Amino acid sequence: MADKRNTPSMRPHTGLLILVGVCLFLLLLSSFSSGFSNALRSGVDAVLMPMQKGMNKAGRYLFGQIETYRELSEVREVNELLSNELAVLRAENARLRLRENELDEMRRLLDLAEQYPQYETVGAHIIGKNSSNWYRSFLIDKGSRDGIRVNMNVLADGGLVGIVTAVSESYATVSTIINDSQYVSAMSTRSGSSCIVAGNLSLYADGLLELQSIGITEDVAVGDTIVTSNISALYVPGLLIGFADSVEEDADHLQKTGTIRPAVNFDTLDSVLIVTTLKISENAQ
More confident: 44 or 202:
202
- List Cα–Cα distances, 72 to 58, 60, 61, 226, in angstroms: 21, 18, 16, 71
Residues 79-112 pLDDT 10s: 778 787 777 777 767 666 656 665 666 666 677 6
**Mean pLDDT along residues 113-142:** 84
Tens of pLDDT along 244-276?
999 999 888 889 999 999 999 988 888 899 999
Tell me the residue type at 45.
D
- pLDDT, tens digit (0-9, with 9 covering 90-100), for 23-54: 666 666 555 555 555 665 666 556 556 766 66
Q: Is the pLDDT of residue 156 over 80?
A: yes
pTM: 0.64
In this structure, is the dihedral angle defined by the CA atoms of residues 35, 36, 38 and 43, taken in order, positive or negative? positive
